[in-house]
Amino acid sequence: MTSLAQAMLFLSSYSPLLAVFALLDTFGKGTPSIVCTALAVAGAALLPLLIVLNRSTATQQLRVATATPRDADVLAYVASYLVPFASVDAHSTRERVAIGVFVGLIAVLYVRTEMFYVNPLLAFAGFRVFAVQTPAGTPVVLLCRRRFIQPSSDLDAIRISDYVWMEKQG
């Protein structure tokens, strides 16, 4: 499920930005706004699907030595990337291409650095982000709905990437 989960988290993280682009006709009226709307809706729909898939996927035991909340990562993402685009008004093809290139660059960095967990829709759905260290000293990122993770606990989780895990839901 890792590649599928990564793709789902990636598209859902861009869903709010695509919705803003559609509302503001950033890439033009008509087809470009319809495409942005369709991708935004698809991205938003993928998150509940991921949660359903999470329930039916085999888990691994994640042993937690320490855990620290990292919820600020989501706020930094929103402030750094989404907010500046909210006021962009690209009239010319050149401006639209520039915005597209910049969004593409952010997307490449987002995927290469495995930051799928930095997702405003996950936060909206009640997920929190924790920096977890295993007893062996391996740092991982854990997505879960808990407010607190007891040190020295064992959690049923699904590996999304080498260092990003999601706790099994329900």
**The pLDDT value given to residue 74:** 67
Closest CA to 81 of 29, 15, 144: 15
Mean pLDDT by groups of 10 residues along the chain of 170 residues = 80 87 86 94 90 80 88 67 62 80 79 78 89 92 91 89 83
**The pLDDT value given to residue 81:** 61
DSSP codes of every residue in 107-138: HHHHHHTT-TT--HHHHHTT-EEEEEE-TT--
**The pLDDT value given to residue 75:** 65
Query: Is 0.85 surpassed by the pTM of this model?
Result: no
Closest CA to 170 of 25, 41, 10, 48: 48
CA 169 to chain centre: 17
